[in-house]
Structure 1
């Protein structure tokens, strides 16, 4: 799961980033209106945490731009301005929730989970992602193959999750890197690290007798088949 924090207050931004990374989210940050706009125009996020007061422009304006781009990213407005008017405006512009500062990190996490679950393509009644004899439980980050649990590290799980929500569809390596590694992917000279992670994940799936595999499309990416 990938989250964007658009917040100019460094201490709060750092605290939220560290906390959410410990909760195994991929976190990217923007510190002002322009960098926030560049992020939302170029990438997609499971949830955006958006401050109202930003250098160079308002969070409300950024939210309006997001909707003009016809993007469905979930948004939680995080603001020191706890006024009814701001809440109403944010919700009318398409925000999913509004959280006033100061707040407890546990409450922030609960709201993020609620929104992601609510906006998921998969219903709460069908909490598992199922493809062939593989069953993935996003809430528990658990993988079952033929009802036997298979243990994955963080990146292996994130990779498999990204493919499980789009089985049999070609996933470009660039999209995979952005979704699973976030800003860290930009610091790499190549995308060879994806091949290494796919190789390790494929071995674990094969050893557990999973009926799924990754098909490489040369020069483009991979398919889960």
Structure 2
């Protein structure tokens, strides 16, 4: 899962980033309005943690920009401005939740998990396709009810496709979603090929009825046999 933190407080941003990365999220940062705007224009995120008071603009204006771009992204407002007016305005503009500062990281994690689960799978705690089952809260993968061991990126790739069964995903989109939005600095996607190859081998050996099919020159999609 890919999260963008829009926060001008360097210490809070770094502490929150480190905490989320321990939970195996892919995290990007924006310390100001301009950086955040560039990122939401160029990339897609599963969740945005949005401060209202930024040095060069308002987080509420970023909600307007998300609407204008037609992007339906989960947004949790994190702000010291714990006024009813800000809360109502943010929710009216499309934010999904509001957590006042200072916040406990454990509560933030719970809010993110609840929000992602509710929006992606209507509250289900399992993601299933064919005979493959993923339990995101536990980072477990099962094929035909038998647990399969995957490394972190193999797991991230599989979950990304399990949430988008049958959808063709190009290599750059996959790289940005699983490795972060600095992926445009790399020269090639050889690292993706290696991870996909290993994942396909593990699924086949486990007897999975779904497979990652390569579409030459474009990308991959998860399909059932």
Q: In the alignment, is residue 123 of structure 1 matched against residue 122 of structure 2? A: yes
Quote the offset at 1:184 in angstroms: 4.2
CA distance in 1, matches of 2:145, 2:167: 25
RMSD: 1.3
Rounded to whole Å, the distance in 1 between the matches of 2:116 and 2:84 is 24
**1:150-183: CA deviation from partner (whole Å, max 9, x where unpaired):** 0111111110011111222211001100110013
Aligned position for 1:2: 2
Number of residues of Structure 1 aligned to a counterpart in Structure 2 = 223
Partner of 2:38: 38
Please list every run of 5 or more consecutive structure 2 residues that lacks an aligned counterpart in the other structure. Answer: none
Choose from 153, 156, 173 the match for 2:154: 156
Shift of 1:61: 0.7
Matches within 5 A, 1:58-207: 58-120=58-120, 122-124=121-123, 126-207=124-205
Q: Which runs of 4+ in 1 moved over 6 A?
A: none
Per the alignment, in what secondary structure is the counterpart of residue 197 of structure 2?
A: helix
Aligned partners of 2:38, 2:83: CA distance in 1, in Å?
Answer: 28
Supply the distance in 1 between the matched residues of 2:221 and 2:119 (Cα, whole angstroms): 24
Q: Whole-Å Cα distance in 2 between the matches of residues 17 and 158 of structure 1? A: 18
Offset at residue 25 of structure 1 (A)? 0.5
Question: SS of 1:183's equivalent?
Answer: coil
Length-normalised TM-score, structure 2:
0.94
Give the deviation of 1:213 after TM superposition.
1.9
8 Å CA contact retained: 2:212, 2:222: yes
| CA apart distance, 1:130 | 2.0
SS in structure 2 at match of 1:213: strand
> Offset of 1:80 from its aligned partner?
1.3
SS at match of 2:34: helix
- For 1:74-108, what per-residue CA distance to the aligned partner results, in whole angstroms no more than 9, with x for missing partners? 11111111111111111111111111111111111
For structure 1, list consecutive stretches of 5 or more residues without a partner in the other structure.
Answer: none
**In structure 2, what is the Cα distance between the partners aligned to 1:69 and 1:150?**
39
Tell me the distance in 1 between the aligned counterparts of 2:122 and 2:89.
Answer: 29
Contact 2:117 2:125 in 1 (8 A): no
Q: In the aligned structure 1, how far is the partner of 2:8 from the partner of 2:133?
A: 40
